[in-house]
Amino acid sequence: MKIEDLLIEIVKERPVGTENNEKIIALLKEEFLALGCSVTALPFKCLVWKKGSSTFKIGDIELKIEASPYSAAFDGTGEGIVIDELAALQTTPLRDKIIILRGEATQKAMQPKDYPFYYPDEDRNVILRLENERPKAILALTGQSQLSGMNPFPMFTDGNFSIPSGYMSESKWEQIRQLWPADNKLSIRIVSENIQVQSSQLIAHKEGVNSKETIVVCAHMDTQYETMGALDNATGIAILIALMQKLKRIECAFDIEFVPFNTEEYFGANGEVSYLKYLDNEQKRISLVINIDSPCHIGSNSAISYYNIHENQKYIIDQTITLHECIEKGESWYAGDHCAFAFRGISCLAVSSSDLFEGALAHIHTPKDTIKDVDRELIGGTVDFLVELVKNWSKILDK
């Protein structure tokens, strides 16, 4: 399949478990087989989220809010309480309250409950306190996300979190403050439904010559809801497929597994967890992981960042980078699928847009993430660099 045609097929809203997502799984499996790879599909259960019109009523005024992705539903009235510092959650009675979170308390999103790769104590303590106290519902007033283009952003994106929640812009706070009723009674309606379905995690296998170790090339294929996911991460999948096409007739010293992760944007990371269990069961020795996430933003280069790479190997890769005009060395970032491997001490490279945090991020997780912001030529240049890297990895290891 031509990469341009592949992009057109993939650039659409495609959260895990949805109809679009399942169609792309079938498309990728067909392409993997056509490229001569054997394919493994690891099944897992997940939730598909449906939402309706959610509202917050204060006095006689009804305001539109957004349900948090995967939230439990709620429709009721309760005593309102405002929390503007997370520390106050630990000392304030919360049972049966409708909590308005704002200010310092909503500067960043909570990590999903029991997230398998990174669950900081600060977030764990907040979730434990809320679930132990059992407020009726939470409305988070948020602004610009630190990790995406969303404004406002959901503070909770978590089907494991039992408290119903929604969100709206922090800019509404002054209106809410002025309308606050003397009896503190608030009403909130969160229209949200989770439907359990089954999906799968694909793995394409290319056998090496007398190989005892494996290179993993991965790029997540799923999106969040309400985004087309061109940069995040249809471009990553396009590079993965184009790399497979270039390597098809090249003998490699390593087995290569091409993995289109299907739950990078999902609160449970089910696909990643399934794949790691598969690696452990198969007792595979991973020599290198290359994760491709949000590359090829128009006007940028492709940036390569290092994790658990020895200094002498970094030097060789740096030299290779200088031979490719569209490639540059990037700063480490810990918010992608490479983290699951890096935290295990495995050597990893991450490929992203060089302006990820200064430019591309403004589009990510929003309706603005469309194909018009993708540099098609940069896809080819990035693939050429990765082909050279994979072909020479055994030599790099010897340095």
| Residue pLDDT, tens place only, 258-294 | 999 999 999 999 999 999 999 999 999 999 999 999 9
Residues 205 and 302 in one domain: yes
329 and 260 in one domain? yes
Question: 271: domain CATH number?
Answer: 3.40.630.10
Q: Which amino acid is at 124?
A: R
The answer on pLDDT for 238 being more than 80 is yes
Report pLDDT for 210: 86
Q: Are residues 209 and 288 in the same domain?
A: yes
CATH number, domain with residue 139: 3.50.30.30
Q: What is the mean pLDDT of the chain?
A: 97
Whether 166 and 299 share a structural domain = no
Q: What is the pLDDT of residues 351-375, one digit of tens each?
A: 999 999 999 999 999 999 999 999 9
11 and 63 fall within a common domain: no
Confidence of residue 395 (pLDDT cuts 50, 70, 90): confident
Confidence of residue 397 (pLDDT cuts 50, 70, 90): confident
Q: In the prediction, which pLDDT does 399 show?
A: 64
Could you report the per-residue pLDDT of 166-187, keeping only the tens digit for each?
999 999 999 999 999 999 999 9
Q: Are residues 344 and 234 in the same domain?
A: yes
CA separation for the pair 396, 389 (Å, rounded): 9
Closest CA to 73 of 197, 163, 195: 163
Residues 358 and 238 both lie in one domain: yes
d(CA 83, CA 91): 11
Total of domains in the chain: 2
Same domain, yes or no: 380 and 243: yes
CA torsion angle for 330, 331, 332, 338 (degrees, to 10)?
Answer: -20
Return the residue matching tokens 């209106």.
Answer: 175
Distance CA 327, CA 39 (A): 31
Q: Which domain holds residue 285?
A: 3-48+196-398
Its pTM surpasses 0.85: yes
pLDDT digit string, tens, across residues 198-213:
999 999 999 999 888 9
Does 135 lie in the same domain as 28? no
Same domain, 170 and 255: no
pLDDT at 88 over 90: yes
> Last residue of a domain, which of 167, 190, 213?
190
In this prediction, residues 48-52 reach a mean pLDDT of 98
Same domain, 290 and 370: yes
User: Does residue 208 share a domain with residue 180?
Assistant: no
Last residue of a domain, one of 153, 170, 190: 190
Give the end of a domain, one of 190, 210, 231: 190
Pairing mode, strands 137-142 and 61-67: unpaired
Q: Which pLDDT band holds residue 257 (cuts at 50, 70, 90)?
A: very high
Tokens of 8: 């057109």
